[in-house]
Amino acid sequence: MDGIIVSTERPTTVKTRIIASHQHVVRVDDESDKVTSAQEQVQLWMRIEKLLPQCDVVIFEDYDKGVLSAELIEKAVNLALKLNIPTVVDPKKRNFLAYQRVTLFKPNLKELREGLKVEVEAGNQSQVESAVTLLKNKLNAEGVMLTLSEHGVYIDFQQQKRKIPAHAREIADVSGAGDTVVSIAALCVALKLSPELIAELSNLGGGLVCQHVGVVPIDREELIQESKMLVQ
């Protein structure tokens, strides 16, 4: 609760998901995505400045709802760099190229195409690698991990480039998959795990939550068991 800022100027986002036969059909959002006021930006920065030094890793989960501004992102990343705290980003279109010098940047294919204005086919490895290299250079980021849906994950981080294939699953609902992927990736970065492990574990977690209807937490034991199968 220490990091929550209450706004009197905007509603709380409410997402209504339509489910039919255990399949997620459509989502209707009731919200505001206007940029927060100058006063709210000041309040948020004061809270970040106080709490960030206590963190092991910082996740920018950017939903493009107007809370994160380019200025706020720059200040938070600079503070994290000063304190040697890694930063991991799940981006959206509005601030896509504002995340300069972050540790790990995790777009999906749609976000990559829109952010760089390039055509990339998920199954074309040469295109994927070129686009990720371009993005990494534009952001001056340490690494990029691109999620490719049924084509898996591609990571370019710490002088390692790896393509991790997706695991065959019965998909019920993709809600929360991206959040799960970036959360696991951030924990792995904080633990200084290898790029391959970061991608493998994140890929596993994202796939596991897709087997369940609705937004669900990852089951630790299930993730551990599936992880053990990777090394057998």
List the catalytic residues. Answer: 179
The whole-angstrom separation of Cα 99 and Cα 96 is 7
Residue 187 phi/psi, 5° resolution?
A: -65, -40
Q: Which residue has the tokens 């089951």?
A: 219
The whole-angstrom separation of Cα 32 and Cα 7 is 12
The whole-angstrom separation of Cα 139 and Cα 100 is 5
- Per 3-state DSSP, the chain is made up of helix, strand and coil in percentages (nearest 5) of 45, 20, 40
The whole-angstrom separation of Cα 214 and Cα 209 is 9
3-state secondary structure of 49: helix
Closest CA to 108 of 94, 126, 93, 87: 93
What secondary structure letter does DSSP report for 36? P
Strands 143-147 and 87-90: unpaired
Q: Which helix (DSSP H) or strand (DSSP E) does residue 164 occupy?
A: strand 160-164
The whole-angstrom separation of Cα 138 and Cα 124 is 21
